[in-house]
Amino acid sequence: MTRRQWTRDELILAMNLYCQLPFGRLHARNPDVVQLAEFIGRTPSSVAMKLCNLASLDPFHKERGIRGLSKVAQGDREVWDEFHSHWSRLAEESETLRLQFMPPTADEAEDTVCEEAALGIGESVLQFAGETERQATTSVRLAQRFFRRSVLASYDSECCVSGIRIRSLLVASHILPWSAFPAHRADPRNGLCLSRLHDAAFDRGLITLDGECRLVLSRELNDHTSNRVLREAFTAFEGMPIRLPQKFRPLSEFLDGHRNTIFCG
């Protein structure tokens, strides 16, 4: 029997799912894998193998000594490279395909509302917007939904500073600001999983990370160490390395940009 070739849309959906799953869940028993397999008319084992093919292309896993599958189709490499060259476009395209068979859960919908409010792209912005603005906002929403799920999955839904694991208190925080760097809005390597308190401090330059991904506090925060809440939330972690993600480690140039241009010092 001739094996059916994977289409570009199927590969994009596989890449989308790869970005959303921790490394240990790329198996045929995972309900998300089963759901995608049913949608595209393939077996869960076939989808799981494709996810492992993509994992073998991930430089982060190569650095960890995880080799993955040795034979990777050219189409897999092309989609991998396309995502890494055009994160926002491919995030939007893959999310559009994903919504055809996997509508957002109630938790995801609530997540979206909270993060859109923080980014200033909520319904109030759309009320008087024209069609072009609405289309642009829809694109941003799809990319942001992809970004949040990818970042939280990479950090196993745990604040990389404090270890908080309550999902409703977690933010997919942009290292380089969302508004100033549109090309990196959907790139999970431009993301940190932070609690809402640590996200606010990071966004305002009150904290940053050094070259070894250790937490650095601004003078303003250090001037308020007499406050017990600030002392326990920040000073207790000063100089400690963050919990690194399972994949999509923050790019050093993004961290350098935050430290050099946003951090208050």
72 and 141 belong to one structural domain = no
224 and 257 belong to one structural domain = yes
Single-letter amino acid, residue 183: A
Domain that holds residue 29: 8-85
18 and 137 belong to one structural domain = no
Of 66 and 172, which is predicted with more confidence? 172
Is the pLDDT at 14 greater than 90? The verdict is yes
Average pLDDT over residues 72-86: 90
The per-residue pLDDT for range 93-151, each reduced to its tens digit, is 999 999 887 776 666 666 666 566 555 555 444 444 444 445 666 788 889 999 999 99
49 and 177 belong to one structural domain = no
Alpha helices, H only, 41-130: 44-56, 59-63, 74-85, 87-98, 106-119, 123-126
The CA distance from 130 to 74, in Å, is: 41
Indicate whether 2 belongs to any domain: no
Is the pLDDT at 73 greater than 90? The verdict is no
pLDDT value of residue 265: 82
How many domains are contained in the chain?
2
pLDDT value of residue 87: 94
Residue of 94, 106, 118 whose CA lies nearest to 194: 118
* CA-to-CA dists, residue 191 to 66, 207, 224, 238, 257, angstroms: 23, 15, 27, 20, 13
**Phi first, then psi: what are they for 103, rounded to 5°?**
-65, 155
The sign of the torsion formed by the CA atoms of 101, 184, 56, 23 equals negative
pLDDT value of residue 130: 46
Indicate whether 62 belongs to any domain: yes
pLDDT value of residue 124: 43
Of 130 and 15, which is predicted with more confidence? 15
Please identify which residue in the block is written with the tokens 């946003």. Answer: 262
155 and 241 belong to one structural domain = yes
Average pLDDT over residues 53-62: 82
Indicate whether 1 belongs to any domain: no
Which residues in 32-42 are b (16+ Cβ under 10 Å) and which e? ebeebbebbeb
Q: Which of 51, 85, 119 is where one domain is finished?
A: 85
213 and 257 belong to one structural domain = yes
The per-residue pLDDT for range 223-259, each reduced to its tens digit, is 988 889 999 999 999 999 999 998 899 999 999 999 9
Indicate whether 100 belongs to any domain: no
78 and 124 belong to one structural domain = no
Indicate whether 92 belongs to any domain: no
Q: Which of 36, 54, 85 is where one domain is finished?
A: 85
User: Which pTM does this prediction carry?
Assistant: 0.85
256 and 168 belong to one structural domain = yes
Indicate whether 34 belongs to any domain: yes
